Structure 1
Amino acid sequence: MRFQSILAPRRGRLAALLSCVVLAVGPAALPAHAQGAGDELITQMKQAFSRGDKARLAALLPQATGHPLEPWAAYWELKSRLKEAGSAEVQAFLARWAGSYQEDRLRNDWLLLLGERRLWDEFAQLHPAFRMNDDREVQCYAVLVDALRTGQVLPERAAVVRNNWHAQRDLDDGCLTAAERLIASRALREQDAWIKARLAMEANRPGAARAAVNLVAPDALPAFDQVNASPTKFLLGSASAASKARKETVVLALIRMAVADPEAAARQLDSKWGPMLSAEERNWVWGVIGKQAAGKLSPLAGRYFANVTKDADLNDDMLGWKVRAALRTGQWKEVSAACDAMSAEAKQEPTWVYWKARALTQQGGERRREEARALLQGIAGTRGFYEMLALEDLGQRAQTATPPAPLTAEEKAAARANPALQRGLYAISMGLRSEGVREWNYGIALHEPGGMDDRALLAAADLACQREVWDRCINTSERTKGVIHAEQRFPMPFHDAVIAKSRAIGLDPAYVYGLIRQESRFIMDARSHVGASGLMQVMPATARWTANKIGLSGFTPSQINDRDTNITIGTAYLKLALDDFDGSMPLAAAAYNAGPGRPRAWRNGPVMDAAIWAENVPFAETRDYVKKVLTNTTNYAALITGQPQSLRERLGNVGPRSAAEPEPNKDLP
């Protein structure tokens, strides 16, 4: 029942409403073209673009003139043949669609080609106008161009290349080329290349790792290839690690081994390789071993992390897992130390702010308690999981925020007049959800210098809410910083059906709404890449099993997208999962997302605060899902009841099932 971002749209009423809006707004927002006329043409062009059919796109493009989505048609046609296009044609496109999402996206595409072709002068001319600036590879090219033109690189610009290069999972030309230049000029260290290789090896990206090694130690490539083929064979066949390159190759072998078998890597490091490596190299490998063990919920994780002599040698990802492992065993000093060693950016994240505060409180002392209270006050609120826990730790409960002042007619009119928002809604109404979402997000982020202010965001969210495009309504309203519009952020479409179905089987409607909001954002015909469908993202096999379990006669998979049937089956499955996990909302939510088998295994071990359990969920998607569903639930409960609500009470504790307790639904799929 996984939620995916690319979802099928609603049709019918929404398309009709949008046609009226387009006509009402007129040329200031969109071409005053047609009430849906030509939509099939645009759909055909998207299909041709997906197939790479350049001839079909060229033939259809003239017919798209005047259509509200003509900028998309023009973008697809030129993008499909961009490698054969010339600078004059690209410049003409940029001028024709100036200020639009399509203009800036094509600029991004062209900058990448200019970088690959080493056309630095044209890149330098075009890059300053790139508004989104959201492409890491382009950012790396930009630093490289500056270095070539000025002969120097400021430390903060070198950091852009290093951070982007390390963050890129796959091999790319821009950051690799920039890194090569900056290493040669000593603006980056050779060690930055070895760290890139380590990160890539752990992420199972051997091509990217090999390219990084080639920058600083091409003679080590034969040994690297041996490591990639069999780290065990390489380590057993090697006697020493005298040179820097040899040591780093051993590090890469131990990392590759640790991903598959952290205990085997720990034995190798303990018995043979530890004394041959530098302290930093040993610490990094122990960090990877500890992280991999913690991700498997191994009780050995803490022991592995204890071998790290300097937390500052670990990256934020390893330190996060060190915190998680320490939380499971109640090692609050280790939690505090790991949080302290994180980067300045990570220290600002509510997750680590909260656990640092909890660690200080657990260690006792008036000074620590005062520091903890200040940390909690800095994040407390209802915007997220840890913000809400911080609020409760300060003695308050979550309640619905005071609504902002009503939108004025002028504010609403400004949202309706925004061409990017209108094109986004139009695209979504046609079934082009991916394009519509990108267009919409551009409209709220870059339509005005610095992005929209809170009032403009509320007006844009209101526009989406009125059109029942609930995902844009929610996501846009969530961007406000100074105000919270709870009814926009937590809408309750299909109110009567959800409330009735939930209460009929003894489910908290707030829990159901919290889950639907996370699963589908209330998009009726949402469909994930794995085949989950509808509001509650039900898999076909799960739907059949649940229908049979509850005696829903005559059920066929084609009924999954029927609203009432989807809610009936989804709520029934959620109730069965909740019963199977003794009423634990966190465990049932994890089962809904990842299947029941995994949380049955994840609950084994000591009884613990469910917040600690949730933070230790091995899958990042499910970890995020559980926290968001429970936060949503608490906010919905405050809206539905009008009373302050407790997230902590909904979390409870998590521990293994008692051997004396029967499993009510052993066959739960």
Structure 2
Amino acid sequence: MFLPKLFTAIVLSVAAVSAGAQAVQGAPTASEYATAPAAPVASVPPAPAGPASNADDDNFLLLREAARQDDAAAAATYAARLPNYAIPSYVDYYRLKPRLRDASADEVRAFLQRWRGTAIADRMRNDWLLELGRLRDWANFDQQLPLFVLNDDTQVKCYALVSRALKGERVAADARALLINPPGYGEACALLIATLAQSTQFDRNDLLAQLRLAGESHATGPAKRVAALLGGSETFTAQAVDLPALAMARGIGAGSIDHEIYLLAIGRMARTSIKLATVALEKNAPRLTAQEQATGWAAVALAASMTLAPDAYGYWQRSSGAPLSLDQLQWKTRTALRVGDWAMVRATIEAMPAPLRADGAWSYWLARALLAAPNVSISQREQAQALFARIADINSFYGQLAMEELGQSLSIPPAGAPLARFEIAPMAANPGLQRALKFFSLRLRFEGTREWNWELRKFGERDLIAAAEFARENAILDRMVNTSERTRTEFDYTQRYPSPHNEILQPTTQSLGLDRAWVYGLIRQESRFMTDARSGVGAAGLMQVMPSTGAYVAKKIGLTDFVHTMLSDLRTNILLGANYMNMVLANADGSQPLASAAYNAGPGRARTWRATLTAPMEGAIFAESIPYPETRTYVKNVLANATTYAALFERRPQSLKTRLGVVLPAGAQANQLP
């Protein structure tokens, strides 16, 4: 969400990226524009002094902030100071945005016509669709929706389904696929659920699924609203989500909805104390139906799985017959992988909805489960090979693993024909890319990325390669990587996997004995090579070193007079980051998956995850079952990156499986592996 604190971070930072997070892939959605109380008109300061261009930029930043605060008067004041600004469409946007609730339809349409075909026009259409949905102005909403190019806003999609449902269309299947994240529902998706319940398109099971999902995601508001639709108490539901011990002490209740609210409390309590949750569930089992008991055990199993608790597998076995959420299906599969129950792996993946089952991770593990079955049939083997073939691709973790299963060489594809200057020249003249460069110069990466990605939609393969090269020439390496990754038939892996600052990094890695490919793989994931990247928690620079970590490493290596501002120095950042990688690798007994997890989530958490092992575990299974979603994605991306970098550096095929190896219990020896 585009919240006030994040807004400030974006203004102040050239690259506000979270540690290990992927670079932004698409344009931000309207829901990211949270509003705050309007500031009084008297708060408008005088125009900044200084050179005209600097003053204009300062006024533009103040205009942007005024729009974010919904302060229409301040926005109008700042906009009036920018009659000839370099990005007039955004001056118009920020002037109109805080007045959108009061603006006439003709005024909004005039803006859309004036800036038609641009990213900011699509942004305004997104904003207007949300306002039209709020007003229940379905005539204008239905007219504007087909013109919304990106159509990437969940709440707009919810309003669209409401509009269709009110016309008598059957939209329940689309709604079930859309309604998977209660914390992001807002008013639009709450309206959709109520509309479908009232029209009987959603039955009791649909509402119960939403209630359980809201409990899983600690979404109190959505849980209360759905409970009310089911005839339950909103007060008791809020207690079940926020104060589960209190809800459990109150008792199980008599009606079926009371039972469901009690089970909600069981699931929430399991996040804090699995023991208390299981004791309560066992005690009240005689008063619950068989399916209610299974639902309770599934909630406990999910909490246990997310802490890698040893009893999680047993809890999943007791949940047979329970309807499972998407998270429950995935964690049941991960738990089965950890204990080697390939039959459960296969059954659970096959029970997933088709879109989830088609994900590269579950396609890979389903294929592995098919091949792990006793007496594998020819048809099973063919099905597994087809699954591997569908996802085989050097550019992803499971794609690389699938290639190896097929016996394919993991090598760098040959580059296309070299770019000519006449192919790059149109990029410099492209208005959208020019706007993006202007935003990047203002440290507004949010807007810059939106403008950049909007233009990429129009490009063919050679255009993408040329745009990536244009990004390289302007030192915007995150956009270079992201742009080049979009090609499917023509490749330039020096763009996709660059190795800048090698003159600094290589001597450092050589002196430490570190794998240079792994270091570059980590940097690519951490900062996308933005040297002044800064995360919301303070991690800084190319290797996203935390100030406390930097101070610790500096002391260990004898770097005196360290202060956290030194993390902005490229050489210091690489020195401290590489030394820290070396430390966590030694602590992980040389395991790159475990060390990568420690670099991202902290050595203490990595030690905790390792402590759950009672036997050597395949590195891919360890990576897939990391409890933190960010770290799970991070480790997989770092190791896939490193494998590709090794293929680039060594100019020979590489093996991700070999790099992953096995993760051993603490104190174990490699020769214990069967």
With the length of structure 1 as denominator, give the TM-score of the two structures.
0.87
Q: CA deviation at 1:51?
A: 5.1
Report the Cα distance in structure 2 between the residues aligned to 1:249 and 1:434, rounded to whole angstroms.
Answer: 41
Match of 1:300 among 300, 304, 311: 311
Match of 1:121 in 2: 139
Q: 1:222 to 1:67 in 2, by over 3 A?
A: closer
Cα distance in 1 for residues equivalent to 2:239 and 2:493: 57
Mapped to 1, the partners of 2:14 and 2:230 lie a distance apart of 50
Instruction: Encode CA deviations 1:109-163: one digit per residue, 9 max, x unaligned.
Output: 1221222122222222322211111111111112222333x3x113xx3333333
User: Deviations for 1:254-309, whole angstroms, at most 9, x for unmatched residues?
Assistant: 22223322343333333423662352x44433222212111111111110111132
In the alignment, does 2:449 pair up with 1:437? Answer: yes
Query: Which one-letter code corresponds to 1:302 in the other structure?
Result: Y
Aligned with 1:480 (options 477, 487, 494): 487
Pairing partner for 2:354 from 344, 355, 364: 344
Q: CA deviation at 1:371?
A: 2.9
Q: For 1:552-567, what aligned pairs fall within 5 Å after superposition? A: 552-567=559-574
Match of 2:240 among 216, 219, 227: 227
The change in CA–CA distance for 1:268 and 1:483 in structure 2 (over 3 A counts) is farther
Letter in 2 for 1:164: L
Per the alignment, do residues 394 and 53 of structure 1 end up closer, same or farther by CA in structure 2, a change over 3 Å counting? same
Describe the superposition over 1:146-202 as per-residue Cα deviations: whole angstroms up to 9, x where unpaired: 333x3x113xx3333333333231451111112212221122223222211211112
Q: Which residue of 1 aligns with 2:541?
A: 534
Provide Cα deviations, 1:207-253, integer angstroms capped at 9, x if missing partner: 11001112231x53354345346434444543654x33233223322
* Amino acid of the structure 1 residue aligned with 2:104: G
Secondary structure of 1:533's aligned partner: coil
Please, which moves more after superposition, 623-632 or 59-68?
59-68
Cα separation, 2, equivalents of 1:287 and 1:250:
14
Summarize the Cα distance change of 1:594–1:412 in structure 2 as closer, same or farther, 3 Å threshold.
same
Counterpart CA distance in 2 for 1:66 and 1:98 is: 20
Q: Mapping of 1:147-158 within 5 angstroms?
A: 147-148=165-166, 150=167, 152-154=168-170, 157-158=171-172
Confirm or deny that 1:592 pairs with 2:599. yes
The 8 Å contact of residues 213 and 325 in structure 2, kept in 1 or not, is answered as no
More displaced stretch, 248-257 vs 101-110: 248-257
In structure 2, what residue type is equivalent to 1:224?
T
Contact 2:126 2:148 in 1 (8 A): yes
- 1:641 aligns with one of 623, 639, 650: 650
Query: What letter is aligned with 2:520?
Result: Y
1:652 positional shift: 1.5
Distance 1:166 1:232, change over 3 A: same
Q: Please tell me whether the aligned partners of residues 165 and 176 of structure 1 are also in contact (alpha carbons under 8 angstroms).
A: no
Mapped contact 2:182–2:217 kept (Cα < 8 A):
no
What is the rounded CA distance, in whole Å, between the counterparts of 1:553 and 1:80 in structure 2? 51
Residue 175 of structure 1 corresponds to: 189
Question: For residue 467 of structure 2, what is the aligned residue in structure 1?
Answer: 460
> 1:341 offset after TM fit, Å?
0.8
Name the CA distance, whole Å, in 2 between partners of 1:475 and 1:613.
28
Q: Is 1:80 matched up with 2:98?
A: yes
Q: Secondary structure at the match of 1:532?
A: coil
Question: Which of 418, 423, 429 is the equivalent residue of 2:430?
Answer: 418
| 1:46 paired to 2:56 | no
- Corresponding residue for residue 20 of structure 1: none
Post-superposition Cα deviations, 1:618-656, rounded to whole Å, max 9, x if no partner, equal 111111111111111111111111111111222121122
Distance (Å, rounded) in 2 between the aligned partners of 1:490 and 1:260: 42
1:21 aligned residue? none
**For each residue in 1:295-354, what CA deviation from the matched residue of structure 2 results, as whole angstroms up to 9, or x when unmatched?**
11111111011113247x212221111111111111111111111111101111111111
Aligned mate of 2:129, from 111, 124, 127? 111
2:23 maps to none
Q: Aligned AA for 1:296?
A: T
3-state DSSP of counterpart to 1:84: coil
Distance 1:395 1:166, change over 3 A: closer
SS in 2 for 1:44: helix
Q: Which moved more, 1:319-328 or 1:496-505?
A: 496-505
Question: SS of the residue aligned with 2:336?
Answer: helix
> 2:506 aligns to what?
499
| In 2, Cα distance between equivalents of 1:437 and 1:199 | 32
Q: CA separation of 1:291/1:226 partners in 2, compared to 1, >3 Å: closer, same or farther?
A: closer
For residue 405 of structure 1, report the CA deviation from its aligned partner. Answer: 3.2
What corresponds to 1:665 in structure 2? none
Cα deviation, residue 410, structure 1:
5.7
The range that moved more, 562-571 or 475-484, is 475-484
Q: 1:237 to 1:422 in 2, by over 3 A?
A: same
- Determine the C-alpha separation between the residues in 2 that align with 1:228 and 1:380: 42
Q: Name which of 387, 391, 401 aligns with 1:389.
A: 401
Which deviates more from structure 2 when the two are superposed, residues 46-55 or residues 139-148? 46-55
The 2-side partners of 1:138 and 1:314 are apart by: 27
Question: Percent identity at matched positions?
Answer: 40
Tell me the equivalent position of 1:8.
13
- Partner residue of 1:64? 82
Q: Is the 8 A contact 2:543 2:574 kept in 1?
A: yes
TM-score (norm 2): 0.87
- Aligned residues: CA RMSD: 2.5
Amino acid at match of 1:336: R
Deviation track 1:454-493 (CA, whole Å, cap 9, x = no partner) reads 3332232222122221111111222223444322110111
Code of the aligned partner of 1:177: L
**Do the aligned partners of residues 90 and 274 (structure 1) sit closer, same or farther apart at CA in structure 2, a change above 3 Å counting?**
farther
For the 8 Å contact 2:415–2:493, the answer to whether it is kept is yes
The corresponding residue for 2:370 is: 360
Residue of structure 1 equivalent to 2:589: 582
Change (3 A) 1:659 1:642: closer
Counterpart in the other structure of 1:29: none
Measure, in 1, the Cα distance between the counterparts of 2:393 and 2:302. Answer: 31
In the other structure, the counterpart of 2:272 is 260
CA shift at 1:67, angstroms?
3.0
Which position in structure 2 is the counterpart of 1:517?
A: 524
1:667 paired residue number? none
Q: Pick the aligned partner of 2:152 from 134, 138, 148.
A: 134
Q: Does 1:309 align with 2:325?
A: no
Q: Paired residue for 1:203?
A: 217
- Checking the alignment, whether the CA contact within 8 Å between 2:267 and 2:303 is kept in structure 1 is no
Once the two structures are TM-superposed, the CA of residue 55 in structure 1 deviates from its matched residue by 3.1
Per the alignment, residue 344 of structure 2 pairs with 334
* Structure 1 residues 366 and 146: CA distance shift in structure 2, 3 A: closer
Measured in 2, the distance between the counterparts of 1:234 and 1:127 equals: 43
Aligned to 1:25: none
Distance 1:473 1:168 in 2: 35
**How many corresponding residue pairs?**
622
Is the 8 Å Cα contact of residues 252 and 262 (structure 2) preserved in structure 1?
no
Task: Please tell me whether the aligned partners of residues 586 and 614 of structure 1 are also in contact (alpha carbons under 8 angstroms).
Answer: yes
Distance 2:336 2:295 in 1: 18
> In the superposition, relative to structure 1, how do residues 274 and 444 fare at CA in structure 2: closer, same or farther (>3 Å)?
farther
1:229–1:432 distance in 2 versus 1, CA, 3 Å: closer
Confirm or deny that 1:188 pairs with 2:189: no
Structure 1 distance, partners of 2:55, 2:430, is 21
Contact 1:231-1:253 within 8 A present in 2 as well: yes
- Structure-2 residue corresponding to 1:406: 418
Q: Secondary structure at 2:140's aligned position in 1?
A: helix
The one-letter code matched in structure 2 to 1:46 is R
Aligned-partner SS, 2:278: helix
Structure 1 counterpart of 2:296, from 282, 285, 305: 285
Superposed displacement of residue 417, structure 1: 4.0
Given residue 405 of structure 1, which amino acid in structure 2 is its aligned partner? Answer: A
- CA change 1:400–1:660 in 2 (3 A) is closer
